[in-house]
Amino acid sequence: MPYYQYLRNISPAECLRACDGLLRLKTALAEQVPEKTTSGNLLIATWNIREFDSSRYGKRMEEAIYYIAEIIDHFDLVAIQEVNEDLEGINRVRRVLGSAWRVMFSDVTEGSSGNKERLAFLYDSRKLSFTGLSGEIVIPPLEVTGEDGKKVYQPASQLARTPSIVGLRTSWFSFMISTVHILYGKQANEDPNRVEEVRLLSDFLAQRADNVYAQSNNLILLGDFNIYRPGNKTFNEIVRNFHIPAALQDLPSNVSQNKYYDQIAFRGYVPEAFIKGGIFNYYNYVYRPEDETEYASFMPDTYHDKDDPEDKARYYEIYWRTHQMSDHLPMWIELKIDFSVSYLNNLKANIPIPETPDDEEVD
């Protein structure tokens, strides 16, 4: 449970609004997301939290930090994209979540395409333990045939934002998990650089998951793939090596809910453990359209200089509030992690039953 006592430190008006928003969130999350259990299920989410936390539209309000923490706390593990080079934002959320929540984050990938972003995992250590595996994905050299017919190796193009991979364990379930923020590129629908990034990553991680020395053969690949729709080239490069449950394929994850940017894919035993999944639209409960006037004093002159109420509403909904929360909605899954019954039944079925010896003849 998040530490709500720090709400006392903000203004009475903001505290009252935050309490109401948190109560709406808690009710909605309890209705839409399965309850966390000690050993029966595992709740995993992926969430691109927009420029978390840059000062482009001002730092996030304390109210927004509590809303973000409340959503994260309803899961066991959350992969986060667009974590800023400055870790202030994620550290503010950790302060609200409490010491049981641990974080692992990548370094920033240099270059303009890296956008000074990190990738991060927040996980509840009361449920999950770190296996020791932690790394960043480096695509190996490519084998090509030279002009003389001999095979040579050429350096591979690396991903614009280096993906992270870690190993975790809970109950009966051990797995590797990798999160990504794939390059958007210049062509909205089928950018060739985006497709190539996903192709390279999909092939590499499939080989890694199948390796006899892999920490686990269960691998979860999740994050922001900038996919426009199921069935396009980017999507197909994922499902060529990984399984995406049908329940997730038709869930748009941007705020306008017309793009399928975020995905969760599996390789190994994970598909058999899948129970359900979904998208949580927090804008039905906080930073709602009808709340615009309450936040007017927090918005910059760009908002107040607009005369048309529709232009003001568009600025509030598309720009300002998405830098308080995000322009993406969290996608989540529930996995079964208690396999004790099937294990015992399998053990029972394979125990050799000793033959009963014939009675010895008595002289």
- What mean pLDDT do residues 108-127 have? 92
Model confidence at 359, pLDDT cuts 50, 70, 90, reads low
pLDDT of residue 73 exceeding 70 = yes
pLDDT of residue 123 exceeding 80 = yes
Q: What is the pLDDT of residue 355?
A: 76
- What mean pLDDT do residues 138-142 have? 88
Kindly report the average pLDDT of the chain as a whole number. Answer: 92
Q: What is the pLDDT of residue 363?
A: 52
pLDDT tens for each residue of 313-341 = 999 999 999 999 999 999 999 999 988 88
pLDDT tens for each residue of 257-313 = 999 999 999 999 877 889 999 999 999 999 999 999 999 999 999 999 999 999 999
- Phi first, then psi: what are they for 354, rounded to 5°? -65, 145
Q: What is the pLDDT of residue 358?
A: 63
- What mean pLDDT do residues 122-134 have? 97
pLDDT tens for each residue of 202-232 = 999 999 999 999 999 999 999 999 998 898 9
Q: What is the pLDDT of residue 198?
A: 94
Q: What is the pLDDT of residue 41?
A: 95
Tokens of 302: 């760009």
Where would I find the beta strands (DSSP E) of the chain? 41-52, 77-84, 101-105, 117-124, 129-136, 142-145, 151-154, 164-170, 173-181, 219-224, 262-267, 274-279, 331-336
Model confidence at 64, pLDDT cuts 50, 70, 90, reads very high
Q: What is the pLDDT of residue 275?
A: 94
Using the structure block, give the residue that is written with the tokens 């598909």.
271
Pairing of strands 262-267, 219-224: antiparallel
pLDDT tens for each residue of 3-43 = 999 899 999 999 999 999 999 999 999 999 999 998 899 99
| Distance in angstroms (rounded) separating the CA atoms of residues 180 and 80 | 9
Model confidence at 122, pLDDT cuts 50, 70, 90, reads very high
Tokens of 224: 């922001």
Give me the long-range contacts of 355-361 (CB less than 8 A, separation at least 24).
Answer: none
Closest by Cα among 216, 194, 323 to 269: 216
Beta strands across the sheet bearing 219-224: 129-136, 164-170, 173-181, 219-224, 262-267
pLDDT tens for each residue of 238-268 = 999 999 999 999 999 999 999 999 999 999 9
| Distance in angstroms (rounded) separating the CA atoms of residues 157 and 110 | 14
pLDDT exceeding 70 applies to what percent of the chain? 98
Q: What is the pLDDT of residue 357?
A: 67
Assess if CATH 3.60.10.10 describes domain 4-287+324-349.
yes
pTM over 0.75: yes
